[in-house]
Amino acid sequence: MAAAVNVALVDGDGLAAFGQAVPRGPERAHLARVVVRPDARGRGLGRALVEVVLARAAAAGFRRVTLYVCSDNVVATRLYTRLGFVRADPPPEDPPLPDVWFMQRSAGRQDGRT
C-alpha cells in the first residue's frame, strides 16, 4: 500500500499550511489535519494545499479521497465542496459521527484530463 501523503506549504514567515492523506486501503486515502496558519487564511492557500494533496494522492495510485468535516465549519465545507467533494455515507470502517459530514471525490482530475 502507498505511504501517507504529507504536504507543507511555506511562505516568508515559515510553515503556512499543512495537510495529509492517510491510506485507508489500496484505493482510498483519507484527508486529515488540514490547517492554514491563522494569519495566512483567506488567500487561497487552503485550496492550493488540498489540490496538491489530491494530485499527489492520485500520483501515488489512490483512486478516491475521503474526509470528515464538522458541518458548522463554513469555510472548510465550502472549500471542499468547491473542490468537488460530495457528501456520502461513510464506509463501515469509518463510523458516522454526529454533526460531521463524510465527503469524498476522485483523487484524479475531475475535468477528464490526465
Ligand X SMILES: CC(C)(COP(=O)(O)OP(=O)(O)OC[C@H]1O[C@@H](n2cnc3c(N)ncnc32)[C@H](O)[C@@H]1OP(=O)(O)O)[C@@H](O)C(=O)NCCC(=O)NCCS
**Contact set with ligand X (CB under 6 A):** 34-36, 41-47, 69, 73-76, 78-79, 82
Q: Residue 66 or 108: which CB sits closer to ligand X? A: 66
Q: Write down the least CB distance from residue 42 to ligand X, Å.
A: 4
Rounded distance between C-alpha atoms, residue 54 and residue 30, angstroms: 10
Q: Write down the least CB distance from residue 83 to ligand X, Å.
A: 8
Q: How far is CA 40 from CA 18, 43, 44, 65, 74, in A?
A: 12, 7, 9, 25, 17
Q: Which residue's CB comes closest to ligand X?
A: 46
Q: Residue 3 or 74: which CB sits closer to ligand X? A: 74
Rounded distance between C-alpha atoms, residue 28 and residue 14, angstroms: 31
What are 44's three cell numbers?
487561497
Rounded distance between C-alpha atoms, residue 82 and residue 70, angstroms: 16
Q: Write down the least CB distance from residue 46 to ligand X, Å.
A: 2
Q: Write down the least CB distance from residue 44 to ligand X, Å.
A: 4
Q: Residue 11 or 27: which CB sits closer to ligand X? A: 11
